[in-house]
Structure 1
Amino acid sequence: MSGLHEVFAACRDENRAALIGYLPAGYPTVDGSKELLAAMLSGTADRPGCDIVEIGIPFSDPVIDGPTIQAASDTALRNGFRVRDLFGVVSAVAGSGGHPVVMTYWNPVHQYGPDRFARDLKAAGGLGVITPDLVPDEAEDWIAATDAHGLDRIFLVAPSSTEQRLAMTAKASSGFIYATSVMGVTGARETVGDKAEELVRRTRVHTDLPIGVGLGVRSGEQAAEVAGFADAVIVGSAFIGRAERDGADGVREIAAELGEGVRSR
């Protein structure tokens, strides 16, 4: 039984969705990202924060990242982030009792070495990896590496995914499936994509895995809306925006608001 399975089981016991918060490792610095991730997990004294944190590897040529995440990643890279720094950030989260997964484009993993990356991430306490630009039918080496080291593989589905693609992705995934609620790049939006609920329904036909919905959530009200039909609510740009304005205190506040939203459903 994986660590992610246990997290989702605990959330089901509370009759609610999980809250997953995203932040690039090394933003604004390596030590600064550890502080912000701790704030995402803690929330406030009376309102819990995130159940899982999604730690991004800053990348110079992102595919789906919107301007907020791109800018945060650029800051981390300018401040000297290297892939080897990721494992210390993951270890800090896991060591404090948090549940870390990593989001990365495939090129950094390919350059580091898939088996070596999976080995080092597992040793640091990582539970799984989200690979937005890697599809299951091109992931033979990655599937072998994650199987060998006991990491969950989290692939993406989108509103444009065919039934065949949904079935293939579900079969290759473990931990949970990441459903992108809108077509296009990431970023907080005034409304959640109206295709999100239908995508979750279509994906459920092919799997018993939890399904998380990301891209667009920015408020407790939106988190409650998504928690009404998904197993996890994934938030990224809204956390970075609050970190830029208000630092760790702002991150704790929005984590508490979003956590209250998922618990209200």
Structure 2
Amino acid sequence: MKTAYVFPGQGAQFVGMGQDLYNLNEQTKALFEKANDILGFRITDIMFSGTEEDLKQTNVTQPAIFLHSVILAGALGEDFKPSMVAGHSLGEFSALVSAGALSFEDGLKLVSQRANAMQKACQAQPSTMAAILGLDDETVEKICAQVEEVVVPANYNCPGQLVISGSIEGVDKACVLLTEAGAKRALKLNVGGAFHSPLMEPAKVELQTAIESTEIKAPICPIYQNVDAKAYTDPAAIKANLIAQLTGAVRWTQTVQNMLADGAEAFVEVGPGNVLQGLVKKVDRKVSTSAAKIGE
């Protein structure tokens, strides 16, 4: 049976995440402690017993979700047998490490640099995102293109749910037009800025050098990347797509559709939460979805 392993992005975090993995055995504990050393602060303290507010800071959230996902995948041992992998935004880095394309250390360093670069870009220009529910993708794309301020489709999460991203004025104008066009809801999101939009260009420039100088190997199976939802195994192409990801859209709907077309029969979510299982079900209700669990 072809199994797709999928890795969540920002928003899946919760206080207490990873505590069970830390206590699992000496190997998992050592990885968490290594992460504390690499990051230069005890992220484990924030993950296990910090406040929700502390955990919500981009420079904490992204490495926290990455660590939970990657250490969980490693703890699955022989049970981790992916036919294909994909990750939602940040989750793409977790997927690459779990599939052997990136080392744990390099993956964590890149995720930390990515989070800090995104935080800086958010502070440089106030910006936001909004979830648009109940409209087809084409209508959302068309209306965003009509708005003169910066606003673009950013996350194609599932049919009927598309997140837009851009300047505050651009998103506000688009929300009004999209509601008039029949959207069930246009919901501003509580996020730090306009992720996956042209406003992330400074972060992309900053991260590009780091990605280019990091060794990426061929993964053990194809990775379906966010920017175009296609399957890749070539390290040079994987790098280029990772760089483009910060300003490009997360084409999750298309990723799931392509994995299904390529024979995926079951989807296993590796990391905190169950957001991706829900999104997969909205693409195809019949497909099997589950959360990765140790010892089952």
With structure 2 as the length reference, what TM-score do the two structures score?
A: 0.26
In our comparison, the structure showing a higher alpha carbon Rg is: 2
With structure 1 as the length reference, what TM-score do the two structures score?
A: 0.28
